[in-house]
Chain A
């Protein structure tokens, strides 16, 4: 009896040591997106720390998380929104991030950026972007779906379950931030919005080269259908948008397919590249972009958000919630953080200009 108990104690102690050390090592070896390198990898996880009572959820890639500011939507229209964006987010990832979001809340409107349907992007999918979209997700059937739909040929499901197997060789490149941010992370976005300042005018944006095939892939269409169905099932209005990014090139053939799809499914599709809408938003590609037309700077994002806030209020039946004391208090902090971040980024930008 005593010997058996001793055996069990040994077994349990060994198991605890194994689990604890492996967990710690995993935390140490995981990339610290919130401090170093691409902060975009931190967005997905940040959402879970929010009060989940949003009117609008955006899903998509940098064309949403750099082009729309939820702060403006709240400040000027009282719309409580969040961007569930990630770098190079593919349609199937947008779908599963939406499914994941619906585990916590049911927004009134979902805004989906159709750039995620680009077949060229799907063909050039990269593991690093999969990781940035998926690693931060909490475990749920949605995460499993996201993994299964995103995995490239040389990826393994188990590497997502135990990321230490993926990042095992990072031990040779660890630095002090890896230790510092092992147990904590810093907020890097404003409700999913990544603020960028500075101006780099869009000049000589090249037209896209002719493609062999412009059709969206079966996989993309299937996930778009799933998204439509999911929104219908939950009574959510789905708004399709094409953000005003000049590159990657948005082919007219793509646009026709989306317009046709929207028509067939009775959805609204707004193409911000359309000259009339562009005039209405007031976007000026010589001033409102920080990277030559790929993404908006904060001024551009605020202009777009102003337009969208008005549109959502007038056409999607969203009401002003600034009167809700608790929510307003929460947003007050967010606005303060936003303004402070904006100020700091401008100061740094100006310093850089002076230095150059």
Chain B
């Protein structure tokens, strides 16, 4: 059930109605039933996978919580009798117990993820290696299904597991409540990756019908559909045409591909997240924001603080920090400091941890080398920027114009161009093709295609381009207005007829200009595939 399908709209409409009709106590159980129904419709064969993750993580968290509770109770009861050393030995023992269960559950769930999502990738690579060593026999590929949203719900579950292990959240006692946290359908397929501590505040509490809140939620849903159907799916037509034929669409077209795909990705992903967050908001549930106007970033580092925030913060909190402070890394720090001196030596382990994070980010996006290279390219740019940071600082301190608007704009445009270039790795599975397409943009002999009407042969008419331009300008305007605070609050203060005209106008634009139905190749949300 795609977010853009009539079935999904009908499903949500019925759910929303029921949600506010039934007794408030039954609201979260209804959401659980709805979430499993959603997942069942997507594919009944996926149910065992999400159920397995839910149960294993729930039980492990309960075991870890029980160990922690017993530890606290024991220490409290024997506060006076035990020496500091004895307490430490006891705590270490309990920690080892917790660690055992934690690692077991982690390996199990990462194992499921690795098997269904990465098994064929590994087999493919092993086969390439075997062939290159002259082997005539290769491994056969396995026929596995990839459950919908597995990357998202596995990461969300692991985040919860780590939080319970660390003791930052208390394990949920009610298995059904926990099951809802894992399966909450609006965020199941493309995030944002939720944190239990934050989500549980509103997910299980009863919600009264609040017309303003429901209205605000639905407004955001509408805005999400606008971005998805009017902009992203319209651009999809041109982008897929160009990507599908690299031998024709190269040179100057490369610039068009990078630009169009970057805008498509933004409209598609932020649109999907708007629908997710808006729908949850209409039900009184607060999900974390996933974007903070990322294309206004002045550097790649800033961009990654503002783009796919839930994923980036997940990798930061659950991978980067643990790896950075791990014993092997501490040993490495000591070693590098000794060999390279304090200044360089302390940076090497940080960069290594960052490299691990970006490698993981890359492979999280997809089981192919183009995503891994994309991750490592991001890492390379970030590392180089970090190395040049003192130089930038000196430059910025010395020249006043670096604080001017044109220079800020230049930095924003530069970052956008960089993101466009990096996004090219998303487009082609073959890294060689990506390289060819990227470098063909320089010194191309076909720049005329940008002006001679060739862009009208990509499946888009001049009217489509006008709609796209209007849509992008509208997104830009809304982003600029967001600097003054919530746009919905600003609209809410307008007289009702103006508000109605705005919302209904947007609705009509979606209905009339949306790239949906027969004649358009409906594309699923790009992040559904991750």
Q: Which residues of A contact B (CB under 8 A)?
A: 10, 14, 17-18, 21-22, 25, 127, 154-156, 158-159, 164-166, 168-169, 171-172
Contacts and interface: CB of A to CB of B under 8 A. Distances in A.
Contacts, number: 39
Contacts of B496: 10
Contacts of B518: 127, 154-155, 159, 166
18 contacts: A10-B496, A14-B500, A17-B500, A18-B504, A21-B508, A22-B511, A25-B508, A127-B518, A154-B518, A155-B518, A158-B6, A159-B518, A165-B511, A168-B511, A168-B516, A171-B513, A172-B461, A172-B463
B94 to A, nearest CB: 58
Contacts of B519: 169
A193 B514 CA distance: 39
Interface in B419-474: 461, 463
B139 interface: no
Contacts of A168: 511-514, 516-517
A98 B144 CA distance: 49
A156 B463 contact: no
Nearest to B211: A7
A164 B511 contact: yes
Nearest to A14: B500
A119 B496 CA distance: 57
Contacts of B463: 172
A166 B512 contact: no
Contact of A171 (B461, B500, B512): B512
A154 B518 CA distance: 7
Interface of B: 6, 461, 463, 496, 500, 504, 508, 511-514, 516-519
A156 B519 CA distance: 13
Given A171-B512, A172-B461, A159 B504 contact: no
Contact of A165 (B461, B504, B513, B517): B517
Contacts of B517: 156, 159, 165-166, 168-169
Nearest to B520: A169
A165 B511 CA distance: 7
A154 B6 CA distance: 13
Q: Most A CB atoms within 10 A — which of B6, B461, B514?
A: B6
B512 A25 contact: yes
B512 to A, nearest CB: 5
Nearest to B463: A172
B38 to A, nearest CB: 19
Interface SS, A side? helix
A10 B496 CA distance: 8
A154 B519 CA distance: 10
Contacts of A10: 496
Contacts of B504: 14, 17-18, 21
A251 B517 CA distance: 37
B512 A156 contact: no
A127 B516 CA distance: 16
B18 to A, nearest CB: 21
Contacts of A172: 461, 463
A280 B514 CA distance: 57
Contacts of A22: 511
A307 to B, nearest CB: 42
A159 B461 CA distance: 24
Q: Most B CB atoms within 10 A — which of A17, A25, A164, A172?
A: A172
Q: Most A CB atoms within 10 A — which of B463, B518, B519?
A: B518
A168 B512 CA distance: 5
A196 B119 CA distance: 65
A159 B518 CA distance: 10
B468 to A, nearest CB: 14
Nearest to A165: B517
A22 B516 CA distance: 17
Contacts of A127: 518
A158 B518 CA distance: 13
B228 to A, nearest CB: 15
Closest 7 CB pairs of A and B: A158-B6, A172-B463, A168-B512, A171-B512, A14-B500, A168-B511, A154-B518
B197 to A, nearest CB: 38
Nearest to B462: A172
Nearest to A167: B517
A172 B193 CA distance: 40
Contacts of B516: 165, 168
A77 B519 CA distance: 48
Nearest to A166: B517
Nearest to A131: B518
A204 B513 CA distance: 48
A17 B500 CA distance: 10
A29 to B, nearest CB: 8
A127 B514 CA distance: 20
Nearest to A161: B6
A166 B519 CA distance: 9
A156 B516 CA distance: 12
Contacts of B508: 21, 25
A148 to B, nearest CB: 15
B409 to A, nearest CB: 35
B504 to A, nearest CB: 7
A102 to B, nearest CB: 31
Contacts of B512: 25, 168-169, 171
B123 to A, nearest CB: 33
Contacts of A159: 517-518
Contacts of A155: 518
Given A14-B504, A154-B518, A168-B512, 20 more contacts: A10-B496, A14-B500, A17-B504, A18-B504, A21-B504, A22-B511, A25-B508, A127-B518, A155-B518, A156-B517, A159-B518, A165-B517, A168-B511, A168-B514, A169-B512, A169-B513, A169-B517, A171-B512, A171-B513, A172-B461
Contacts of B514: 168
Nearest to B515: A169
B108 to A, nearest CB: 39
A31 to B, nearest CB: 13
A132 to B, nearest CB: 14
Nearest to B6: A158
Nearest to B519: A169
A91 to B, nearest CB: 23
B511 A156 contact: no
A25 B508 CA distance: 10
B6 A156 contact: yes
Contacts of A156: 6, 517
Contacts of A17: 500, 504
A25 B505 CA distance: 13
A137 B490 CA distance: 47
A71 to B, nearest CB: 37
